[in-house]
Amino acid sequence: MQKRKRRLISISDKSIIWATISVLLLFVSLEGKAQNTEAILTPKKIRIAEPSNLEFRIKIPKGAVLVEPVWGDTISGKIEITANLGLDTIPQALEKEILLSRKLKVTSYEAGFFPVPPMAFGYISGMDTIYLESQALLMEVDSVQIDPQAPIKDIKEIQKAPILFEDILPWLLGFIALLIISFVAYYIYRRRKYRKPLFVPRQKPQIPPYIIAINELEHLRKKKLCQQGFVKVYHIGLTDIVRTYIQSQFNIPSMEMTTDETLAAIKPHIIEKDSLSDLEAILCLADLVKFAKHLPEERENDLSLDLAIKFVKNTIPVEASNQQNNDGPVQEDNDDEHEDEIQS
């Protein structure tokens, strides 16, 4: 009988020892979880509808994947989440660990004491999944204090919202569009009433024929075609410039006329006889070069061009001549389009 009692006592002692060891292991496990997760509520005491910051800090090994709870609209029945501020990483001294911070904005619309329950976190490291749990917190919510001695105030009248620029912008744009449409309609009406085109093409200022001719003759001189053996080309170009000038200045189709026809047609328009003689010398020498294969001397080529410039200057209209005397000598036109015509 005594042996049986001793045996029962021995078994009971062993059970107590194992229970103590289990409690210690559980405490160590919970302590380890508490070190890896932390819940922070700031402030813990608020008034109804005031915001409070709820932060969860989770320490996990570097390279592990965090597992979070599913964040809904509430933490508990009375604590609501108003904003999820995201997940941040807090630098750590140990490179093997990282500290993650989940920040939430919370509030409550009832007065009282409301618990923030432990939240279950975890992380996946390799093939293992480790579960963590934050500690519980308590939020105190006070109601708005009302002074019973204060007089009862009537409900405030509905205030008018201020007028913003965004409110008047559509009306402003509509008014501007209406003005534009009205102006365009009036413009079209006026143009059609007086039978005028809607759009008048922009015209370039016309260059006087004598300026074009002198510029082209000077450009021909710079080419030095005779020195390169192109005597015929030189005289063809020279006469083309002179004939084009006659056609533009006197409205005589000299390009389609012979030398004699040109001289006869222009004679009534020329006051000085020397100008007619100069023109005859230019055209006749060019005819000899083109048709009789005459090869003039170099001084004759230069003289022919000088006579052409002299002829153009002597036949400038009176009004243009007076303007030229006031403005100075004829300047070479630098217009790109005109320069292209000369080079061609």
Q: By CB neighbour count within 10 A (0-12 exposed, 13-18 middle, 19+ buried), where does 94 fall?
A: exposed
Half-sphere exposure for 56 (CA within 13 Å, toward CB): 31
**Residue 214 parent element (H or E):** helix 209-223
Instruction: For residue 299, give both structure tokens.
Output: 């001084």
310/6 Cα distance (integer angstroms): 150
Question: β-strand 52-61 against 37-42: which pairing, if any?
Answer: antiparallel
- Predicted structure pTM score: 0.41
Q: Residues 72, 116: contact at Cβ < 8 Å?
A: no
Q: Residues 115, 138: contact at Cβ < 8 Å?
A: yes
Question: Residue written as tokens 């009004």?
Answer: 319
238/312 Cα distance (integer angstroms): 12
Q: What is the CATH number of domain 33-142?
A: 2.60.40.740
216/239 Cα distance (integer angstroms): 11
**Segments making up each domain of the chain, as ranges:** 33-142, 209-343
Tens digit of pLDDT at every position of the chain (344 positions):
444 444 433 434 544 543 444 334 334 344 444 468 999 999 999 999 999 999 999 998 888 899 999 998 998 888 999 999 999 988 777 778 889 999 999 999 999 999 999 999 999 988 888 899 999 999 999 987 777 787 877 777 888 888 888 889 999 999 999 999 999 999 998 888 888 887 777 777 888 999 999 999 999 999 999 899 999 999 999 999 999 999 999 999 999 999 999 999 999 988 788 888 999 999 999 999 999 888 999 899 999 999 999 999 998 886 655 555 555 444 444 444 443 433 33
Backbone angles phi, psi at 87, to 5 degrees: -110, 125
